[in-house]
Every structure is written in C-alpha cells, then in structure tokens.
Amino acid sequence: MDFDDANWQTHLGQKLWDLNQLALGYRYGDEKIALHYTFSPFPATQVQAFKALQCFLYQCAEGDIPEASKLYKFFDEVVTLRWAEAIIIRSKEYDDAEWG
C-alpha cells in the first residue's frame, strides 16, 4: 500500500470490504456484492473503533482467511495489540495503577 497516495484510506477500505465479502462467501456461499468504497471518516471513540475492528475480524475468520490473508493477520496480530495497548495506557485506571 502506498501511503503517499492521497487515497490510501479508500484503497485500504476496499481491500477490507473485499476480505469481508470473501468471508461471507465461505460462510454462506454468497456471491460478492460489488462496492466501490470511498473513505469517509466518521466520529467514533477509540474503544468503539476497536470494538468495530474486533467485529470485523470475527466476521472474517472464515475458511482459510486467518491463515492465508496477510491483511487479516496484520490487523489481528499487530493492530489489535497495539491499539489495545494504546487505549489502556491512556486510561485513567492505568495512570492510577501502582508501578511495579
């Protein structure tokens, strides 16, 4: 993915859509629904966005996607851990916890 491309969010969103459609095909035998995704930001808390990502990963855990998809693995193994860590570290409960 070329992050210098002004439309990188749109390209990523399209890849995520395609992965989700593949998972639906594995699960229900559905044919892919054509969508030409265009990035549009929406307001969400970090926790809401994290939960949406967890839902997406759950939906995509069909067929050989968890083993074969680099995109799935990246979000499952890297993004979720880093994001969860960032959310926790910024929490008041973390700040109030004793060190050590």
Within-domain flag for 2: no
* DSSP classification of residue 72: H
* Location of structure tokens 């996607």: 65
**pTM for this one?**
0.77
Tokens of 98: 């004793």
Q: Which of 40-44, 86-90, 91-95 has the lowest mean pLDDT?
A: 40-44
DSSP characters for 21-77?
HHHHHHHH-PPPPP-----------HHHHHHHHHHHHHHH-STTHHHH-HHHHIIII
Within-domain flag for 36: yes
Within-domain flag for 18: yes
Within-domain flag for 3: no
Domain that holds residue 88: 8-96
Report helix, strand or coil for 60.
Answer: helix
Within-domain flag for 35: yes
pLDDT (tens digit per residue) in 12-70? 888 998 999 899 888 888 777 766 767 777 788 888 989 999 999 999 999 999 999 99
9 — pLDDT class (breaks 50, 70, 90): confident
Q: How many domains does the chain have?
A: 1
- Residue 100 has a pLDDT of 80
